[in-house]
């Protein structure tokens, strides 16, 4: 199996295409590209995911798991979804040569490419594939850690490559999986059509022993591509479908909800990836936080930047660094930090100061505290993370926003990306039409856990919930100053 994934050192493509409409986040939850903010195998947890083809047409979709530091690929393969097919999988910890390692297992017979017959093996009666470190080791080092622990948490995305019909449709329905193993030949054949959306995705982070479950839906991007995202020459494992947004012409368009308006944006071909960043741009993230001793509650926010690698992966970037502040492992070791301001309001709307941890308090880290430093960060608000990671998710990446003064148990928290140097606020530079957008391209969710020992004597009840974070956006002029959107 591993040789099939060895060509993961990414090759990014810009596909020529036919006219289509502009990429946007679909509030209804279906689309061509699905962005999942988190997977983890830490602290005994598993991450269950599902992707559903809600259409009566067969779809080929690329699945990419990416590690949290720099968004490097830890597993990429394709899944073939027959009409109305559901594909489910689970990331879990599995022993590899007596060391715990991250893996994905399937309990589903939808065809995959490579097929499950060449996956690592069988665990708990189902095929599984270990995550693979080749994209950050073995000649692909990026300055970050090179050990297998780097693969224990991250994010993933699923991108529709094409629709399949004729004999390929039949093969998908009948699970004749051998038919799909040469995707270059399929790309050259007559039985593919451009993607048309209608995928939906969901995820849940489960700790069976603790009785906890955090769930959510994938962020769905519609009108992502008007051409099939397959090549007759490039190994599909090396084809970065998520980097191949297009609307068929020489430029790429995006439609973004800003304030009460829908703003149209156009980017030239060499900045195509900016269209995806644009639809995710967040001037501020807001959500609830709770750390009530009486309720045993703790909140963490998972904040993921799925397009950060396009801007900030020093050797792989496909466009300008902005809106990020530094490339990975340049200014910050093992990281690329963009600072934020944290503003907490109690339930009365009073501003509560939140200050960084005192120097020397655990955990020891050289990274700035109030900053998004990775592709995925877990921001914790309760006790400072210890050797087992953050209190709720057991995360090892992220930062701590604690120490409210005066002490405050619940409130509304807003994280506002701020700039460095002469740039007060980060912004995505304008394209060939439309304004710039302030902030960073982020998605995320709130994970809240209550531990109640007072329900029934001798019974410990854990209540958990996951809820999307809300965001606001703002237009800017050419130097990043907020302006009224056109």
Burial (CB count within 10 angstroms: exposed 0-12, middle 13-18, buried 19+), residue 26: middle
**Rounded (5°) CA angle 476-479-484:** 20
Q: In angstroms, what is the minimal distance from the CB of 345 to other proteins?
A: 4
Q: Which residues contact 240 (CB under 8 A, 6 or more apart)?
A: 10, 11, 12, 13, 64
DSSP 346-382: -TT--EEEE-PPPTTPSSP-SS-SSEE-SSEEEEE-S
Asked if 22 contacts 254 with a C-beta cutoff of 8 angstroms, the reply is yes
Closer CB to other proteins, residue 7 or residue 343?
Answer: 343
Asked if 9 contacts 141 with a C-beta cutoff of 8 angstroms, the reply is no
Closer CB to other proteins, residue 173 or residue 482?
Answer: 173
CA distance 105 to 48: 10
Q: In angstroms, what is the minimal distance from the CB of 300 to other proteins?
A: 15
Q: In angstroms, what is the minimal distance from the CB of 434 to other proteins?
A: 15
Closer CB to other proteins, residue 141 or residue 288?
Answer: 288
Closer CB to other proteins, residue 99 or residue 107?
Answer: 107
Residue pointed to by tokens 């699945």? 63
Closer CB to other proteins, residue 145 or residue 468?
Answer: 468
Length of the chain in terms of residues written: 486
Asked if 71 contacts 306 with a C-beta cutoff of 8 angstroms, the reply is yes
Burial (CB count within 10 angstroms: exposed 0-12, middle 13-18, buried 19+), residue 426: buried
Closer CB to other proteins, residue 444 or residue 480?
Answer: 444
Q: In angstroms, what is the minimal distance from the CB of 32 to other proteins?
A: 8
Closer CB to other proteins, residue 145 or residue 215?
Answer: 215
Asked if 331 contacts 147 with a C-beta cutoff of 8 angstroms, the reply is no
- What DSSP character marks residue 339? E
Closer CB to other proteins, residue 353 or residue 461?
Answer: 461
Closer CB to other proteins, residue 141 or residue 409?
Answer: 409
Asked if 396 contacts 152 with a C-beta cutoff of 8 angstroms, the reply is yes
Burial (CB count within 10 angstroms: exposed 0-12, middle 13-18, buried 19+), residue 346: middle
Q: In angstroms, what is the minimal distance from the CB of 225 to other proteins?
A: 11
Q: What is the CA radius of gyration of the chain?
A: 22
- Residue 370's φ and ψ, nearest 5 degrees, are -95, 75
CA distance 91 to 113: 18
Q: In angstroms, what is the minimal distance from the CB of 324 to other proteins?
A: 21
CA distance 315 to 215: 34
Closer CB to other proteins, residue 7 or residue 414?
Answer: 414
Q: In angstroms, what is the minimal distance from the CB of 51 to other proteins?
A: 10
CA distance 152 to 101: 7
Q: In angstroms, what is the minimal distance from the CB of 468 to other proteins?
A: 6
Q: In angstroms, what is the minimal distance from the CB of 438 to other proteins?
A: 14
């Amino acid at each position: 199996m591993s040789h099939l994934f060895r060509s993961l050192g990414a090759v990014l493509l810009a596909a020529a295409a036919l006219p289509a409409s502009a990429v946007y986040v679909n509030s209804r939850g279906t689309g061509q590209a699905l962005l999942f903010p988190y997977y983890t195998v830490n602290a005994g947890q598993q991450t269950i995911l599902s992707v559903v083809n809600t259409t009566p047409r067969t779809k080929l979709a690329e699945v990419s798991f990416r590690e949290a530091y720099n968004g490097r690929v830890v597993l990429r393969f394709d899944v073939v979804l027959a009409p109305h097919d559901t594909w489910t999988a689970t990331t879990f910890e599995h022993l590899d040569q007596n060391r715990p390692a991250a893996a994905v297992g399937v309990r589903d017979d939808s065809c995959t490419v490579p097929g499950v017959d060449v996956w690592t093996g069988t665990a708990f009666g189902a095929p599984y594939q270990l995550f693979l470190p080749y994209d950050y080791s073995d000649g692909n080092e990026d300055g970050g850690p090179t050990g297998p622990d780097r693969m224990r948490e991250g994010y993933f995305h699923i991108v529709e490559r094409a629709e399949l019909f004729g004999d390929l449709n039949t093969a998908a329905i009948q699970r004749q999986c051998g038919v799909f193993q040469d995707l270059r030949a399929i790309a050259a054949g007559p039985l593919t059509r451009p993607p048309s959306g209608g995928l939906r995705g969901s995820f849940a982070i489960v700790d069976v022993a603790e009785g906890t479950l955090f769930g959510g839906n994938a962020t769905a991007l519609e009108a992502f591509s008007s051409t099939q995202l397959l090549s007759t020459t490039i190994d599909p494992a090396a084809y970065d479908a998520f980097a191949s947004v297009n609307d068929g012409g020489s430029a790429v368009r995006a439609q973004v909800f800003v304030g009460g308006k829908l703003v149209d944006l156009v980017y030239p071909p060499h900045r195509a990836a900016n269209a995806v960043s644009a639809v995710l741009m967040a001037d501020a993230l807001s959500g609830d936080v709770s750390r009530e001793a009486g309720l045993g509650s703790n909140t963490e926010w998972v904040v993921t930047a799925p397009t950060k690698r396009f801007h900030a992966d020093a050797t792989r970037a496909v466009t300008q660094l902005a809106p990020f502040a530094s490339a990975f492992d340049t200014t910050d070791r093992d990281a690329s930090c963009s600072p934020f301001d944290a503003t907490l309001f109690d339930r009365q709307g009073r501003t509560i100061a939140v200050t960084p941890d005192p120097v020397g308090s655990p955990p020891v880290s050289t990274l700035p505290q109030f900053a998004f430093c990775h592709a995925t960060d877990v921001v914790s608000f309760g006790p400072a993370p210890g050797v087992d990671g953050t209190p709720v998710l057991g995360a090892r990446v992220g930062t701590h926003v604690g120490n409210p003064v005066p002490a405050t148990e619940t409130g509304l928290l807003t994280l506002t990306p701020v700039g460095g140097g002469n740039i007060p606020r980060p912004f995505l530079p304008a394209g060939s039409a439309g304004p710039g957008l302030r902030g960073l391209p982020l998605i995320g969710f709130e994970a809240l856990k209550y531990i109640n020992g007072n329900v029934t004597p001798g019974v410990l009840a854990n209540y958990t919930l996951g809820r999307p974070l809300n965001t606001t956006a703002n237009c800017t002029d050419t130097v990043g100053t907020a302006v009224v959107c056109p």
